[in-house]
Amino acid sequence: MKVLVPVKRVVDYNVKVRVKSDGTGVDIANVKMSMNPFDEIAVEEAVRLKEKGVVTEVIAVSCGVTQCQETLRTAMAIGADRAILVETDAELQPLAVAKLLKALVDKEQPGLVILGKQAIDGDNNQTGQMLAALADLPQATFASKVEVAGDKVNVTREVDGGLETLALSTPAIITTDLRLNEPRYVTLPNIMKAKKKQLDVVKPEDLGVDVAPRIKTLKVAEPAKRGAGVKVPDVATLVDKLKNEAKVI
């Protein structure tokens, strides 16, 4: 069984992001970039399934600029067998990414697609669900445990009331939560091996997908700075401030 693992290149989670002076977006010039943490968990889970013998091949996929090859090399250093880059300089929104992945799913015919539930830059939490709808495949989101049994996949997911276990028939889409696993440390020998692994580059046009943005960002602004707290002498004053100043009651 093949597993397709989409990975996204994002601003490193340790970096404090800055908004551009003209308010058109986030400034990523000279900023450290890395693999989206949720996608790293997805790669780790796919590699673990391969190590258990239930998966034969792990294919990492990324959509975006040429530098996304670095992210794919990291995925291959973790354990992915080969990689595909859908190269484009266009601004990719969740629907466009889902359409590109749908084309690759049709081409590669994977038994599972495992991807992060969301990216830490846009926080949209949409691509996995859109892909499942476009490909007409069963899906399980926010997975905290994945078990493959024959042509079935049992996925434990976190819901408001506790845990829910879904049984999916393959092929299927799974989106990962933080508690699914802890990604392994990438060793230098594996980084060197990853440089020799196959990395194919295709264009959106090769897949017959239009990636033109459907949504326009009007303005990006930093949240207002939080005001300092104050001490109140009694409950009556607290209630008065909550009612008349904060206007929350």
The band of 217, judged by pLDDT with boundaries at 50, 70 and 90, is confident
Instruction: Determine, yes or no, domain membership for 120.
Output: yes
pLDDT at 42: 95
pLDDT at residue 139 is higher than 90: yes
Instruction: Determine, yes or no, domain membership for 191.
Output: yes
Mean pLDDT over 118-142 rounds to 93
pLDDT at 16: 87
pLDDT at residue 216 is higher than 90: no
pLDDT at 61: 96
Domain hosting 179: range is 2-224
Instruction: Determine, yes or no, domain membership for 243.
Output: no
pLDDT at 191: 94
Q: How many domains does the chain have?
A: 1
CATH of the domain at 141: 3.40.50.620
pLDDT at 201: 95
Instruction: Determine, yes or no, domain membership for 136.
Output: yes
Model confidence over 45-85: pLDDT tens digits? 999 999 999 999 999 999 999 999 999 999 999 999 999 99
Instruction: Determine, yes or no, domain membership for 41.
Output: yes
Neighbour order of strands in the sheet with 162-169: 162-169, 152-159, 139-149, 172-176, 112-116, 2-6, 57-64, 82-87, 199-202
Instruction: Determine, yes or no, domain membership for 240.
Output: no
Q: For the full predicted model, state whether its pTM sits above 0.75.
A: yes
Model confidence over 78-112: pLDDT tens digits? 999 999 999 999 889 999 999 999 999 999 999 99
Instruction: Determine, yes or no, domain membership for 141.
Output: yes
Instruction: Determine, yes or no, domain membership for 248.
Output: no
pLDDT at residue 203 is higher than 90: yes
